[in-house]
Amino acid sequence: MFGLFETATPTQAAHAVLGTPIDAQPAPGQNVAVFGCGCFWGAEKGFWRLPGVVSTAVGYAGGSAERPSYNQVCSGRSGHSEVVRVVWDTALVDFSDLLKLFWECHDPTQGDRQGNDRGSQYRSVIYLDDPSLMELAQASRQAYQLLLSGAGFGPITTELLSHQTFWYAEPYHQQYLAKPGSRPYCSAQPSGLRLGAFEGASYKLGPRVWNSYDWSVAHCVLRGDNAPIQLA
């Protein structure tokens, strides 16, 4: 049985955009977490564009089946969610920055769907094993719930769990939106609400970065460049 970040070996060695190993293990000064926010194609692009992200990979987590295939996950029988594994440099980007992107890039109140994509594989999730990061994730959820409630949205349905196994998705899914001939698809439906300060937050990224994500535009991740956002 693999631990959360002791994953099955991928068959694609390098990230198609960042050039780093997609199975990169956190080096000193780095950390790792798994996010699910609808179809993993668009979600991964949102994360790999953040300055300070070392590597991303898409896969499956939160279910019971070992080494699930895309077809098994799409059937809903494996119990897995489509997720993005993110490794980041803690000197350049804070976990609170990643949480800000996570909450803003989708509607976390939709349960087993995201936009037109329906099924438990599209549910909203955060999986990580670091207790301090889990506390920060919980604080950010409380803060974002206040924003959502004030705007007429329902309760957040996001799973926050630890000790979940991550399985790499098939190679053609990795950095899908950066590959020639890819189908420009993203079903996420952001609420349009921006997460500000919350307990424990220590943002490192400024307006230049966040203005690159225009959540008022449908499927905005498809409109942005594939390259990471530059700080200057």
Length of the chain: 232
Alpha-carbon dihedral sign for residues 42, 47, 49, 55: negative
Measured CA angle at 141 (ends 149, 131), to 5 deg? 165
Query: What DSSP string describes 170-221?
Result: PGGGTTGGGSTT-----------PPP---TT------HHHHTT--TTSTTGG
Q: Which of 39, 105, 186, 220 is catalytic?
A: 39
> Tell me, what DSSP letter sits at residue 19?
-
37 is catalytic: no
Quote the tokens at residue 138: 């919980």
Q: List the alpha helices (DSSP H) in the chain.
A: 40-48, 70-75, 95-104, 131-150, 207-210
Query: Which residues belong to the active site?
Result: 39
